[in-house]
Amino acid sequence: MESVGTPLFWTLFLLGVGVVLALDLGVVNRKAHVVRPREAALWTLFCVSLATLFAAWLFWRFGTRVGLEFTTGYLIEYALSVDNLFVFLVVFSYFGVPAQHQHRVLFWGILGALVLRAVFIVLGAALLARFQWLIYLFGVFLLVTGIKLLLAREVEVEPEKNPVLRLVRRFLPVTPAYHGHRFLVRLDGRLFATPLLLVLVVIEATDVVFAVDSIPAIFGVTRDPFIVFTSNIFAILGLRSLYFLLSDFMDRFHYLSVGLGLVLSFIGLKMVGSAWFHVPIGISLGVIVALLGGSVLASFLFPPRAPSAQEPEK
């Protein structure tokens, strides 16, 4: 299938992403500050609106199939990215990152994620074009991942055990305290990493792990590299502001992992069975919306039971 992404479209899209990132760091968040819910809500709305306008353009320019492929891919990537938010919360708490510097870490972390996702997508598209049977391998992987997510009670994130973090600490001395928003400082003629760099390293390493799940998932929806890339990028662009918007009550979405596990399992089954049956993209979108929406609704209708104050201490 021929990609809808011409060199002109790729260039314009990348330039647009560059403008959004420059606006974010150079104008809106030029000075370190605590991101308030109102600011986070406005930036989240801005990013979602951009994705919506892009989807509308795809519908108008290339038709329903391409528009639905992007919409489905964007929804999947955005939902899978929510797991990253929990990791951000754990890592920031573990390292005691000052609230006014969290945005800077996430900005550079997401910028690195854009590059890593681009590499993964190019490799995935090239491999699938050359070895068609890999789609079944991706399908089995997603199916197994979805089942593991359904069976897992709780995922524990332990930043101290991150192998990349250990490698950085082995070759680069680390200052005991933060030095503003700087990642590296020179003290007495010697270069030191600040704890902020360690936080960035952990976030980047974690995104690689999540990308291993999300990239095969989007290839289960479309093989077009342009649609895969753009849906990923739009989801990542809105991730940072979504964190600041939801950080105070992310623990309420306790059934979201069930919805994500079912979505991954559904896509995995689609990929494994693609040789025998075809699921129309409209039906796929409906199933994914129902699974994710149902898991969020269940989280609010059946909140986790708070421990009773009368229970004896153990």
Residue pLDDT, tens place only, 246-255: 766 666 777 7
Phi, psi of 171 (to 5 degrees): -105, -10
Q: What is the pLDDT of residue 309?
A: 46
**Highest mean pLDDT of the ranges 5-9, 109-113, 174-178, 281-285:** 5-9
What value does the CA radius of gyration of the chain take, rounded to a whole number of Å?
21
Confidence band for 161, pLDDT divided at 50, 70 and 90: low
> Alpha-carbon distance 314 to 297, whole Å?
33
Q: Locate the DSSP E strands across the chain.
A: 184-187, 190-193
Token pair for residue 226?
Answer: 């342009």
Judge whether 180 and 194 are in contact, CB under 8 Å. Answer: no
Percent of the chain surpassing pLDDT 70: 86
H-helix or E-strand containing 151?
helix 134-151
Q: What is the pLDDT of residue 313?
A: 47
User: Is residue 311's pLDDT more than 80?
Assistant: no
Number of separate helices (H) and strands (E) present in the chain: 11, 2
- CB within 8 A of 220, min separation 6: which ones? 135, 138, 139, 142, 267, 268, 270, 271
Q: What is the pLDDT of residue 246?
A: 72
Mean per-residue pLDDT over the chain, rounded: 80
DSSP-derived secondary structure letter, 24: I
Q: What is the mean pLDDT of residues 208-230?
A: 83
pTM: 0.80
Confidence band for 125, pLDDT divided at 50, 70 and 90: confident
